[in-house]
């Protein structure tokens, strides 16, 4: 009986010394698994681990969007110039009211409307360009943001810009029509053809925009 007991004890000791399924690192995993996973993660995006030149190039690409900021600041300066010219034109008109005819008053009004539309175009390009290509606007009070910015998508903003350009071209054409002495027939014909091209372009843009919105609505359903 003692010999059998000793043999049973030796078997238990031997089985306890063998590494079980959960032994080794204590988690049942290969010690090299962590390093292998890190290597696979590094290779997942197609680059070698620690490839700094490519990362620096990508960072430079992202930083290049800030190069547009001086251009937008230049547009803001142009907006100030438009405002100054608007004030000069209006003051000059007020000081010469006795010499202004009905047709001249209409031309002056068209000039002022033209400058207002150009100012609107500058504002739309500056704000949408900054928010789309540079950085999002950090504004705590959303009520201070214009309604067209809160409710409009990128496509709708582009449509507003295109319509504004069309209105500016229409005002120029109307100005030339009311003051035919400023242009000859060839120039008038060129302006008319250009206007028709603008109308066709905006019409096509509106059509594509509506089709895109319809497809997006169907996909959402």
Domain contains 3: no
Q: Please report which confidence band the pLDDT of residue 2 belongs to, taking 50, 70 and 90 as the band edges.
A: very low
Domain contains 6: no
pLDDT digits (tens, 9 = 90+) for 106-156: 889 999 999 999 999 999 899 888 888 888 877 777 777 777 776 677 777
> CA 137, CA 24: separation in Å to the nearest integer?
54
Domain contains 105: yes
More confident residue, 65 or 219: 65
Domain contains 142: yes
Is the model's pLDDT at 51 over the cut of 60?
yes
Domain contains 30: no
Domain contains 180: yes
Side-chain half-sphere exposure of 67, counting CA atoms within 13 A = 6
- What residue numbers bound the domain in which 141 lies? 62-216
How many domains is the chain built from?
Answer: 1
Where b means 16+ CB within 10 Å and e means fewer, 106-141 reads ebbebbeebbebbbbbbebbbbbbbeeeeeeeeeee
pLDDT digits (tens, 9 = 90+) for 152-187: 777 778 888 888 888 998 888 888 888 777 777 788
């Amino acid at each position: 009986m003692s010999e059998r007991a000793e043999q049973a004890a030796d078997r238990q000791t031997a089985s306890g010394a063998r590494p079980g399924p959960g032994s080794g690192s204590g988690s049942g995993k290969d010690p090299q698994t962590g390093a292998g996973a890190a290597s696979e993660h590094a290779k997942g995006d197609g680059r070698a681990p620690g490839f700094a030149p490519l990362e620096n190039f990508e960072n430079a690409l992202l930083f290049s969007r800030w190069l547009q900021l001086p251009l937008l600041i230049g547009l803001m300066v142009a907006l100030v110039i438009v405002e100054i010219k608007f004030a000069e034109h209006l003051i000059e008109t007020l000081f010469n009211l006795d010499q202004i005819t009905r047709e001249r008053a209409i031309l002056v009004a068209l000039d002022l409307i033209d400058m207002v539309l150009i100012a609107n175009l500058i504002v739309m390009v500056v704000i949408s360009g900054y928010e789309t290509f540079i950085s999002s606007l950090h504004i705590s009070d959303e009520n201070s943001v214009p309604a067209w910015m809160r409710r409009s998508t990128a496509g709708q903003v582009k449509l507003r810009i295109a319509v504004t350009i069309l209105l500016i071209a229409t005002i120029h054409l109307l100005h030339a029509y009311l003051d035919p002495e400023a242009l000859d027939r060839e120039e008038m014909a060129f302006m008319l053809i250009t206007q028709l091209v603008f109308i066709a372009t905006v019409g096509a843009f509106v059509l594509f925009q509506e089709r895109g919105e319809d497809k997006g609505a169907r996909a959402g359903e």
